[in-house]
Amino acid sequence: MEKSNKNEVMSESNIPIWALQEDELFSRLGTDTAHGLSAAEAAARLESVGLNAISQGEQTPAWVIFLRQFKSPIVVLLVVAAGLSFSFQEWLDGIAILVVIFINAVIGFYMEFQAGRSMDALKKMVSISVKVLRDGTLTEINSEMLVPGDVIYLEAGDMTPADARLYNSAQIQLDEASLTGESVPVEKAPAVLPADTPLAEQSNLLFKGTFVTKGNGWAVVFGTGMNTELGKIAHLVGTSEQAATPLEKKLAAFSGRLIKITIGLVAVIFAVGVMGGKPIVEMLETAIALGVAAVPEGLPIVATLALAQGMLRLARHNVIVRKLSAVETLGGTTVICTDKTGTLTQNKMEVEALASPGGAWAKRDDETLLPAGRLPKAQYDRLLQIAILCNNADIAAHKGDFTEIGDPLETGLLKFALRQGEDINGRRLQCPKLSEIPFSSETKIMATQHQTPEGNMVFAKGAAEDLLECCSSLLDSDKNVPITPQHRKVWLVEAEKMASSGMKVIAGAFKSDAKTSKSLTENLVFAGLFGLIDPPRKEIPAAIQECRAAGIEVVMVTGDHPATAKAIGRQLGIIDSDETEVVLGKDMPDFEKLSAADKSRWAATKIFARVSPKQKLDLVSVFQERKDIVGMTGDGVNDAPALKKADIGIAMGQRGTQVAQEVADMVLRDDSFASIVTAIRQGRVIFDNIRKFVVFLLSCNLSELLVIASVSLLFLHFQLKPLQILFINLVTDVLPALALGVTAGSPGIMAHRPRNPDEPIIDRARWRRIIFYSVVLSAGTIGAVYFSHFFIHAGDDWLVQRCNNILFFTLIFSQLFHVFNMGSIDAPFWRTEVVRNRYVWYAIVACIFIIVGLYLIEPIRTALSVVPMSAADWGVSIGTGLLAMVIIRLGKHLEFFQNEKL
């Protein structure tokens, strides 16, 4: 390897990275805390050390995938058949069977290769970003672009993107279970440790792949990619194959059972044929070919391809599905528990109103955005200090647009400050942060301590009801007045009033002369309320109505104020009136203590407010106990357990933490609820398409079985040839089945209730359909031979080749036209999803070209025992195929089949 390894160059000293003094650390890594690396230096180091990525091992070579296609037991049977043909000097048949084996291998290779490429494309879409200091500016980049020496900022919910040394932190804790197996979060802190400190006790180091569960901190990267602790483990472990999905296992088991049944039937047909005087070799080849025809052995790989292509379609709709098995579950979702902020709303927060003990301001009353004239100066200044200093977000304005990094609520506060003419960076430089208590879902409060011209000051913000409990006084004009229970009641009513108009309400407080971080949230001075508006997304009401029509319950689960939640829920159509009950988190007992009445109440509730992550987990359990299939949204590190327990864990791509995204089944790149509904619709479509081509393949194969069995049992003289059976499967099975896999879906796909995930792929109703389809196709095929003989060639002798050819081509056209019967009966025939699928038409045109080719090319025609046919005979074959399609289409409307719509 020619490249120099920067990681190794930077570790030349005998002193390990965790034992270095801070100045030695930055000197060795060639960086500093004020500016980080320059873009040019970072690019040079990236060229030297390569991407910050764990090697996934070598991909399976294409030639190995191709050779795998010959491992099937079916191929072994065909090789035996070819060997028998050669042994009896049937050279043309033997060569033709070998050609069929090769063509089957090429088709199998293409489908498996395409499925692999689809999965690789999906992996590339799932990237992790990291906040890094480059050229003195905090920016977000793809974590793969990190290099040793980069200065990074991590907070609760972030995944550590590389091995790094911590140099500044606020109560930071990490989950290192992925590295050490330790389930309890580990506290980390800047320190210089002894050189012999073991890995598990290196408390100043952050390791790639671990998660920040609490607090935040700054660190400098010293190891990337395979030169991290995680990389070393990955190198030792190597790679393992991805496990089959439940659907693939079902299909494989289904094919296995079908093979056993087919072997029995083929044995009977072989015995009857031999007893009827047919040559043993011909009957053996027929039996083997019939076995191949009866079993859709490519079913699992076609299903995998359909799932993978469906995942790519979802990606184009802003939904990244992380687990293939999730696609199967999507269509059965019965309950969606969704967050409000950013999912149902636009996540573009703007300060709409201020309220303080000395006055109030509302944007709608004062378009000039100058609240300073409506509030006492002391209160206005304090609220601005809280908005700017008790805030970890960053923002820059350029020609009226804002570049935002951080939580939308915090960037909304910064936008408000910028519009008041505040110099955010100047204010922060003037008042450097000394310590911090990060926001948590348990306390619902954030507090920071700063060194200011007035001395040490604490600024805090959080939920009104929680922050007011931490206040011992309030700021009235420029005086601190002791707070009373009546004061608290008044301000809770004011918060309720603001929230009922749809605003998110945040309280602000402060205090001076703070000594230690442990007492940051005690004896605060209440400064006022911020009211922020986050408008609902325009597309959400229609999406919620679509869920209702599909039998899917939508439940809002939010940490926000109940009045805000109810106002937004009413606007979006989740609830119909103001009288609807909202369940508060404080009124939700632990799952173990829930009574049957409590569970019924929860199941009937549409809005839950001030809910903790633990209560989200309990809510999922309640719905799952009812046998519901639950989709749960989440964005925070504490949401991970609920996301993992839900049948479909849905993480936010824009505002979601990396912890949430890691455990989720799917990630919304636009954070919109409408994308969840799109995903469910696509999930239903994908599963419906899989059912379509399973029904199509089975009905076609069973029709071939019935034709051959009928001809054998009736001792008719115009049996199909083995090569003809194999050709039929190549023409009518592969291309139309693949086309069915990319059907757009029935117009009424969301008008039906969710399917039961425990029901088989082929239920009783569909088995009835398959048998009905097969009987019509086989009866029509044999009937076409009799019609031709008695009405077109009346008085002529039975010509074996002509009868055989009519049987052959009628079965081909019947199966080709049969693909249109896979459309639903929810729409007129010409508007069904299959008829409108252009790939189905492409498949049929391609099949017709192949048929014309075999008829015109002499060697192929000879191999398949095809003789010239009259126009009338062609008309019989094509007409019978169309007639079978019409009969089946009409039959689908019979009450016998109405319990299931295909």
Active-site positions read 339
β pairing state of 350-356 and 359-362: antiparallel
Distance, CA of 529 to CA of 507 (rounded, Å): 4
Distance, CA of 492 to CA of 321 (rounded, Å): 42
Strands, sheet with 630-634, edge to edge from the N-terminal-most edge strand: 319-321, 666-668, 648-652, 630-634, 335-338, 553-557, 607-609, 582-584
Distance, CA of 609 to CA of 586 (rounded, Å): 9
Hey, how many other C-beta atoms are within 10 angstroms of the C-beta on 241?
Answer: 6
Distance, CA of 665 to CA of 688 (rounded, Å): 20
Q: Is 529 helix (H, G, I), strand (E, B) or coil?
A: strand
Helix, strand, coil shares of the chain as percentages rounded to 5? Answer: 50, 15, 30
Hey, how many other C-beta atoms are within 10 angstroms of the C-beta on 455?
Answer: 10
Tell me the C-alpha to C-alpha distance, in Å, between residue 434 and each of 28, 170, 430, 524, 547: 27, 10, 12, 18, 49
State the DSSP H helix or E strand holding residue 479, giving kind and residue range, or none if neither.
strand 479-482
Distance, CA of 689 to CA of 683 (rounded, Å): 10
Q: Is 538 helix (H, G, I), strand (E, B) or coil?
A: coil
Q: Which residues contact 169 (CB under 8 A, 6 or more apart)?
A: 188, 189, 190, 215, 216, 217, 218
CB burial of 524-543 (b: ≥16 within 10 Å; e: otherwise) equals bbbbbbbbbbbebbeebbeb
Distance, CA of 221 to CA of 232 (rounded, Å): 17
Q: Is 532 helix (H, G, I), strand (E, B) or coil?
A: strand
Give the rounded distance of the alpha carbon of 226 from its chain centre: 27
SS (H, E, C) 230-269: HHHHHHHHCCCCCCCCHHHHHHHHHHHHHHHHHHHHHHHH
Q: Which residues contact 563 (CB under 8 A, 6 or more apart)?
A: 496, 497, 499, 500
The dihedrals phi and psi of 477, each to the nearest 5 degrees, come to: 60, -110
Return the structure tokens found at 540. Answer: 């959400």
Cα torsion 361, 366, 370, 374: sign: negative
CA dihedral 849, 851, 855, 858 (to 10 degrees): 80
Tell me the C-alpha to C-alpha distance, in Å, between residue 672 and each of 342, 541, 668: 7, 12, 7
Distance, CA of 561 to CA of 570 (rounded, Å): 14
Q: Is 721 helix (H, G, I), strand (E, B) or coil?
A: coil
Residue found under tokens 């499967």: 729
- In single-letter form, the type of residue at position 820 comes to F
CB burial of 47-58 (b: ≥16 within 10 Å; e: otherwise) equals eebbebebeeee
Tell me the C-alpha to C-alpha distance, in Å, between residue 198 and each of 16, 19, 169, 757: 11, 12, 22, 48
Distance, CA of 351 to CA of 537 (rounded, Å): 18
Q: Which residues pair with 481 in a beta bridge?
A: 474
The dihedrals phi and psi of 340, each to the nearest 5 degrees, come to: -95, -60
Distance, CA of 785 to CA of 780 (rounded, Å): 9
